[in-house]
Each structure stands twice: as structure tokens, then as C-alpha cells.
């Protein structure tokens, strides 16, 4: 008879701890949730028993009665691996502090069943809260569902900021800043690639670009503004069109880094020196921005910090509706420069 009964496959329960330590179940429960009214003596005996029995409270039982699962979810539809990775990392950083887990829930914003899918997520997991990235962060039916079901949620970069807690950067100001940077370099003709129309940030960045030009006394030329969809191919296509113009731009500002990489590729294939013959600017400061050649001048969007703050809004005890703006930063690298030749 080698070892005692505790060694069986069955996990110890709170009852076992109670028996082993000689106190009541309620007292065990108190120390488990470190509530106040417990004598030091009782507490230490309970702790000893817990350790001795290797007791771990059952998550299922706890959430059944406590109405909490210590789990939140991230509903995300961004096609950029960088964005998703950074967002998740930030959320994890915050979740770790509270021993909360994160369910990664991708969604397709074009799905006809988006609502059912999110409701199913709520029902089958009992999550304590949800973080919503664009474009679902602007879907009224989704917000309505969450409110109706009483699920706390935080939106990332929504178009308005009043309906819930939210985290965001000032996309308008960021695009404005980048455009001024290009203008200061002496560029007269600046091409712009708009982001995917489903994302509110696309319009903000576009507006910031136009505002900077207008403020500088320029009239935005519609031929220099092309629609993209945040992916590499659309950036490349826009660049082809822009560079085929009779009067091509000397700089191209793409609404994200992946499209900017597409622009760079086209420039290389055409033998255009960057930034000698063409300056290229991105947006986001994905890891990608540093991996391409030349390294991209871009706007640093602190995605990881956005994730951290979003989770904090969900988990902080003072869970009032609040919005937090995170600062962006213009990162000058080697893809932009002055106009060298006409």
C-alpha cells in the first residue's frame, strides 16, 4: 500500500479540505476567496490542507454559482496577423494580472450569421466580457445584442465613443501628421490609398489626409486618391494606377503598412528608387514596416497598448464606461525623403 487515498485520480474537493483542516466548508471558501473574517490559525491550517491535498477549486462549480467564468473573449476580424498578434498580446498582458483567460474568436464581418455566432459565443462560454475590434465595433445589431444580454464590452477604435467603453487612437490627426511630413519634404503630388471601406478608421485617415492638404492651401486631386482594402495586392494595384498617371505622384501614403509594402514592390519592379524617385509612407508600424526595404516611415499605432487598455477597461474594478485615447507616433525611417528629381 504505497501512498494514501489522495493519490487517486479524483481531485480533492472543498469538502476534503474542510475535513482535513478541521474547519467548515464555509471557512475554506473564505480563505479561497481571501475574505476577511478568518482567524490566522484557521487560515494557515486551511492553506496547509490545500497544499497537502493539492486542491484546486473547480472552475465549473465556481462559475455555476458565481456567475463568472474568469474568461473574456476577443472578437476579431482583422486580416493582418501583426494586428491580431499585438492585440492579443496586450490583452494577455492585462489578463495575466487577474488570472483571466482569453478566448480568441475570429469572425467574418460579411457573415449573415454574425449575430447568432456572437450569441452562441456568449451562451456556450459564459464569458465575463468581450472586446470588439472593427468593424463589429460599429455594428449596431451587435451592440444591441450585447446590451440586451448584459455582457460588458469594450470597443476598439469605434466611430463614436459614447455608447460604451472604448480605446482608440486619433486616426485623423495621425494621417494629418503624416501628410504634413510629406508636404514638408517638398512633395507637391502625393498619392493616397484608402483603407477598406468597412472600417471606420479608413474614413478618418482619408479625412486627415484631405484636411492636411486643404490646410496647406492645396486642392486634393481625386486622381491621386485610390481605393484599397488593406491588403498587399490592393496596395500594389493602387500604386500601378498612380504611377501610370501622366503626372505621377512623387510620394504615396498608404493607409496601412501592408498596402505600403505593395507600393514598395511595384516601385522596385519598375526600378524606381525609394525614396529617391518615390517616397512611400505606411500606417500602423507593424513588424512588417521594419522588414521591408527600405524600412517604412509610418505611423506607430500602439496596438498592443490598445489591447492592454481594452482589457483593463473590462477587468478594472471601477468598470465604468470610459474611453481611453492612446497616443500615436510618427516614425521616420528610410522610405521617405525629399523630392530629388522631377
Partner DNA sequence: TTGTATGCGTTATCAG
Partner DNA sequence: CTGATAACGCATACAA
Cα angle 172-203-199, degrees, rounded to a multiple of 5: 115
Return the residue matching grid coordinates 474594478: 317
Q: Which stretch binds DNA (CB under 7 A): 50-58, 72-80, 299-307, 314-322?
A: 50-58
- What count of other Cβ atoms lies within 10 Å of the Cβ of residue 302? 17
Q: Which stretch binds a copy of itself (CB under 8 A): 118-126, 179-187, 219-227, 307-315?
A: 118-126
Given candidates 19, 62, 92, 101, which one binds DNA under the rule CB under 7 A?
A: 62
Q: Which does 37 bind (CB under 5 to 8 A by kind): DNA, a copy of itself, none?
A: DNA
Q: Which does 42 bind (CB under 5 to 8 A by kind): DNA, a copy of itself, none?
A: DNA
Residues 27-66 that bind a copy of itself (CB under 8 A): 56-61, 63-64
Given candidates 9, 37, 341, 342, which one binds DNA under the rule CB under 7 A?
A: 37
Exposed / middle / buried, residue 244 (Cβ in 10 Å: 0-12, 13-18, 19+)? exposed
Cα angle 11-15-19, degrees, rounded to a multiple of 5: 110
Q: H or E segment at 180?
A: helix 171-184
C-alpha distances (whole Å) from 95 to each of 4, 58, 92, 119, 167 are: 37, 20, 5, 23, 16
Q: Find the shortest distance in angstroms from Cβ 28 to a copy of itself.
A: 16
Given candidates 22, 116, 160, 291, which one binds a copy of itself under the rule CB under 8 A?
A: 291
Question: Count residues contacting DNA (CB under 7 A)?
Answer: 31
* Angle of helix 40-53 versus helix 25-32 axis, rounded to 10: 90
Q: Find the shortest distance in angstroms from Cβ 57 to DNA.
A: 4
Q: Which stretch binds DNA (CB under 7 A): 8-16, 190-198, 250-258, 332-340?
A: 8-16
Under the binding rule (CB under 7 A), the answer on residue 10 touching DNA is yes
Strand partners, 330: 299
C-alpha distances (whole Å) from 39 to each of 44, 70, 127, 220, 327 are: 9, 28, 34, 74, 48
Binding site for a copy of itself (CB under 8 A): 9, 56-61, 63-64, 69-71, 81-82, 84-86, 88-89, 92, 99, 101-106, 120-121, 123-126, 150, 232, 258, 261-262, 264-265, 268-269, 287-288, 290-295
Amino acid at each position: 500500500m504505497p501512498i494514501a487515498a489522495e493519490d487517486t485520480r479524483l481531485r480533492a474537493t472543498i469538502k476534503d479540505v474542510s475535513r482535513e483542516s478541521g474547519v467548515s466548508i464555509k471557512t475554506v471558501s473564505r480563505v479561497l476567496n481571501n475574505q476577511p473574517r478568518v482567524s490566522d490559525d484557521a487560515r494557515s491550517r486551511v492553506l496547509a490542507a490545500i497544499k497537502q491535498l493539492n486542491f484546486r477549486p473547480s472552475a465549473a462549480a465556481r462559475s455555476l454559482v458565481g456567475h463568472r467564468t474568469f474568461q473574456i473573449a476577443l472578437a476579431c476580424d482583422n486580416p493582418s496577423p501583426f494586428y491580431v498578434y499585438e492585440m492579443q498580446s496586450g490583452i494577455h498582458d492585462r489578463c495575466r494580472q487577474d488570472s483571466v483567460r482569453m478566448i480568441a474568436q475570429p469572425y467574418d464581418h460579411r457573415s449573415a450569421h454574425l449575430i447568432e455566432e456572437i450569441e452562441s459565443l456568449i451562451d456556450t462560454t459564459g464569458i465575463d466580457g468581450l472586446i470588439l475590434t472593427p468593424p463589429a465595433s460599429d455594428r449596431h445589431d451587435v451592440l444591441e445584442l450585447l446590451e440586451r444580454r448584459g455582457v460588458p464590452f469594450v470597443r476598439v477604435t469605434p466611430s463614436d465613443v459614447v455608447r460604451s467603453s472604448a480605446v482608440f487612437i486619433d486616426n485623423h490627426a495621425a494621417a494629418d501628421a503624416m501628410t504634413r511630413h510629406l508636404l514638408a519634404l517638398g512633395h507637391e503630388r502625393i498619392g493616397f490609398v484608402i483603407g477598406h471601406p468597412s472600417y471606420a478608421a479608413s474614413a478618418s485617415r482619408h479625412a486627415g489626409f484631405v484636411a492636411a492638404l486643404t490646410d496647406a492651401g492645396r486642392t486634393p486631386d481625386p486622381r491621386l486618391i485610390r481605393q484599397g482594402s488593406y491588403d498587399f495586392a490592393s496596395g500594389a494595384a493602387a500604386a500601378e494606377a498612380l504611377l501610370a498617371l501622366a503626372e505621377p505622384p512623387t510620394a504615396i501614403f498608404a493607409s496601412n503598412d501592408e498596402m505600403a509594402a505593395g507600393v514598395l514592390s511595384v516601385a522596385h519592379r519598375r526600378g524606381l528608387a525609394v525614396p529617391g524617385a518615390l517616397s512611400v509612407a505606411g500606417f500602423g508600424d507593424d513588424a512588417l514596416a521594419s522588414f521591408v526595404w527600405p524600412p517604412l516611415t509610418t505611423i506607430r499605432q500602439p496596438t498592443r497598448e490598445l489591447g492592454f487598455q481594452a482589457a483593463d477597461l473590462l477587468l478594472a474594478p471601477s468598470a465604468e464606461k470610459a474611453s481611453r485615447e492612446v497616443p500615436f507616433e510618427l516614425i521616420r525611417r528610410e522610405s521617405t525623403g525629399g523630392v530629388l528629381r522631377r
